Structures are given as C-alpha cells and as structure tokens.
Amino acid sequence: MNYLTATQVDDHTVQKSLAKISDILDQFYRDIDKTRDSVRLHESTLGRDELVEFMRAYLEGSITIGKYNKRYEEMAAKRFSSQYCVSSNSGSSANLLAISSLVQTGRLKQGDKVAVPSLAWSTTVFPLVQYGLIPVFVDIDRYTFNLDLKKLSEAIMSHDIKALMLIHTYGNPVNMDVVMDICESFKLILVEDTCESMGATWRGMYVGSFGDLSTFSSYYSHHICTLEGGLTATSNKELYQVMQSIRSHGWTRGIDFDLSSYEGLDEIDPNFLFLYLGYNMRLSDPQAAIGCIQLPKLDDYIAARTKIANLYIETISTSSILNDSIRYMCTDSRGHSSWFGFPIFVENINYDDLTMLRHFLLENRVESRPFLAGNFCSQPVTQKFKHIADNLEEVKIFHNQSVALPCHQSLSEDDVRHTCSLIEHFLGKNNA
C-alpha cells in the first residue's frame, strides 16, 4: 500500500518568514551581552546560522527523519572517510547501535569478551553489558592517558578477546599503527568510540575511519552540537542497513533489505515489517539541519581548542611550580588531538586535596570536572555485571589525582592564564 505524500510548505513562504526571523536574530546577537565573568567547562557553538536552519526545517514540516538527516549523514560519511553513516539521538545511542548491530548480525555473541579502557564513560561500557558481552578493562598509559597497548596485547592473550572498544581519550588519537596491527594479528573487531575526539587525526586520517564501526557525539559539550545527537559510521553495507532498522523500531521501511529468504510475508504490510530488535533513536530533521551547518565549522573549532591547549602547555612549562607538579596529556607527532578538554595529572596530591583544589577554582569562577568517570571499575554499577579487571595500577592512581580543565573555542588567553595562576597559587601555598 502506498501512502499519500505529505504536503510541503512552499519555499517562498518559508524564505519570507525566515528573512523576518533572521532580522530579529541579528538584532538579538548584537544586543546580547557577551562579557563573561567565569571560565566555563563548555560553551555553546550554536548561533544565528544554526537557529535559522533549524527554523527552516521546522517551518517546512521536516520534523522526523527526512532530507536533512540524509544530507547530514552524507556529509559526515564523506568527512570521516566512511561509505555510510547513521544519525541518532545521542553519542550513547551511537554506541548502542554499533554493538547491537554486531550482535544481531552474529559478529559477536553473548559471552564474548570485549576490551575497553578502564578510563571510560558509562555508555561506552553499558551497551556491551546490555548485549551479554563481557567487558575486559585495560589499564591506561601514564603519558598519553590512552589505553596501554602493551597491556592490551597481554589481556587479549589471557582472555580470548573478540573485539576492542577503543576510546581516543579527550581527543588524543591512539597509536593506530599499533592498534591495527593488534586487531589484524588477533582478528579483533574494532569499534572506535570517537564521541570525545571528533576531528582528531592519525597520520592525516581521521580517527573513526579505522574501525569496523565508529561513533561520534554532537552533545552540547562536544566539538559540534545538534542539541543532542550521535553518528555511527561504517563501510559495511549490511551493518549500515541493520543500524538503520534498529534506529527506527527494528522495522524495514525505506531500507533495501533482501527479503528472499523470509517466508510468510504476504500477509504483512511491507511498511510495517520488523526484522530486528529495535529502539527509537532517531535524530529529528531540524537537529540534523543544525548538523549540516555545524560540521563545516569543525576545523575552526579544533584550531581554537588547539591554540588554548598549546597555551596551557606553554604556561605550565614556564612555571617552576606547575612544571614540577603537573603532567599533561602527551600527544604523538604523527597524530593531531582535537582537545575535548585539557586533562592534567597532579603529582603528590591526594583526593581530598584535589577536591579542595577544584573547590578553590570554582570559588574563583573556574569550572573543572573529573577526568571522564575516572577508574570505571570503581563505580558501584560494575558490581551488577560480569567483567574482568586485571592490573589496573595506573588508572587507580589517576582516579585520585587527575582533573579536566576547560579547553574550548570560546576561551581567551586570559582565561587560561587565570586558571593556571589559580592552580599555581593553590599548589604553592599547599607545598609551602
């Protein structure tokens, strides 16, 4: 059965209304007070252009998945060197889509072990557990703050690991030469969780272009923003089609599945045919329209973040107190970090004093946060699922002595110097 085509508002009417809205927004952004009296962890990348495009989709009646999602997915796939990309309502959903598609196509099965960094975010881990997989937590490298690749190899040989859920920590690309050798040698499925590292590169190739699947986030605090949102990229057509289905309730509508092996379909409306266990993870079209505006701005945002990170490094290096007390994230010359934040490890400090440092920063209107979720194995939720956690000495130390500082496109040089001077004052006073 074919359904009626939805009536679209004509372009002239939409453009006429948008011109009036645009004039109002121009005045709004001229009048708004942009002075800031605090150093925020994150600040919005959204502005006039994004709101106009959001309103365009809204006024046209493009609400659920439609032409703007298609355009956004095509832009992202091209940008991150994948054949296909599936949009979703969050980076967490992007991870869930990736793992769900691997299990539902039989590439992974319940009880399989998957390596994951011990310094992690919850929804990197939870899809594994939700699909009956067993996370094998691997320790981190004390200098790059990424997965320790030597310990990864040891874990693979000890635990018969089938896949790697890789995080490029806070935008810092992992040594992908070694990772790809490991995955090839042990025949591992590679999923790149690139939610906090959009735009980072290794040997000129975007992280997220190496894995069998890769995930991205466009949450408010991340490199680009679509209010909420995620992307899952792959060059495997079967995984692409299955993820499209899982994202939309598990049904087949609009997806070119080969149904020749299925029987008894004559009495099922093809518009309401379900092949997979699914969810509603869809990104609305107005949000996707924002993504089409945000994605071309990614390079500028990363350049601004890199400038801020370099200033942190310079300021720390020229202060005897900071240079002796702080270890920051080391990057490889073959890679380029997209600097989701500026994480630091503070020498000779305990958790109570670290908490006092964070309170001192906040009293002086500088925000900070724990580094990801710290040692994820220390989270109470891990008591509720089977996992393996061997030799995690480094991340246990990091859990009590690390903090993430602001590093984003809206910070000024004065913000960085102010933040560093506060830390210098606190450490100098405490070490006196």
The answer to whether the beta carbons of residues 295 and 76 sit under 8 Å apart is: yes
Q: Quote the number of domains for the chain.
A: 2
269 and 368 co-located in one domain: no
Answer whether residue 8 is part of any domain: no
222 and 79 share one domain: yes
> Is 407 part of any domain?
yes
For 119, the domain range is 48-297
Q: Is 286 a member of any domain?
A: yes
Whether residues 142 and 103 share a domain: the answer is yes
pLDDT at position 7, please? 66
- Measured CA to CA in angstroms, residue 328 lies from 28, 116, 238, 391, 406 at distances of 40, 22, 41, 23, 13
Q: Does 335 lie in the same domain as 249?
A: no
**Active-site residue, 222 included:** yes
Residue 15 lies in a domain: no
Residues 217 and 339 in one domain: no
Does 18 fall in a domain?
A: no
Is 29 a member of any domain? no
Residue 265: burial class (beta carbons within 10 Å; 0-12, 13-18, 19+): exposed
What are the mean pLDDT values of the chain's consecutive 10-residue runs (432 residues total)? 68 86 83 77 93 94 95 98 98 98 98 98 98 98 97 97 98 98 98 98 98 97 97 98 98 93 91 96 98 98 98 98 97 97 97 97 97 96 97 96 97 97 93 66
By CB neighbour count within 10 A (0-12 exposed, 13-18 middle, 19+ buried), where does 160 fall? exposed
The answer to the question of residue 359 being in a domain is: yes
Taking each helix axis as running N to C, give the angle between helix 149-159 and helix 176-186, from 0 to 180 degrees, rounded to the nearest 10.
10
Residues 212 and 335 in one domain: no
Residues 234 and 124 in one domain: yes
| Same-domain pairing of 380 and 420 | yes
Which pLDDT score, from 0 to 100, does residue 22 have? 86
Cα–Cα distance between 240 and 29 in angstroms, integer? 40
Question: 413: exposed, middle or buried (C-beta count within 10 Å: 0-12, 13-18, 19+)?
Answer: exposed
**Residues 290 and 314 grouped into a single domain:** no
Strands (E), 77-212: 84-88, 113-117, 134-138, 161-167, 189-193, 201-202, 205-206
Q: What CATH number corresponds to the domain at position 341?
A: 3.90.1150.10
Give pLDDT, residue 23.
83
258/290 same-domain check: yes
Helices 413-431, 351-363: inter-axial angle, 10-degree rounding: 140
Same domain, 286 and 306: no
Show which of 251, 274, 297 is a domain's final residue. 297
CATH of the domain at 158: 3.40.640.10
**271, 297, 323: which is the final residue of a domain?**
297
Same domain membership, residue 222 and residue 322: no
The verdict on residue 275 lying in a domain is: yes
Candidate list 222, 223, 387, 408, residue with the active-site label: 222
Q: What is the pTM of this model?
A: 0.95
Domain boundary at 255, 275, 297, which? 297
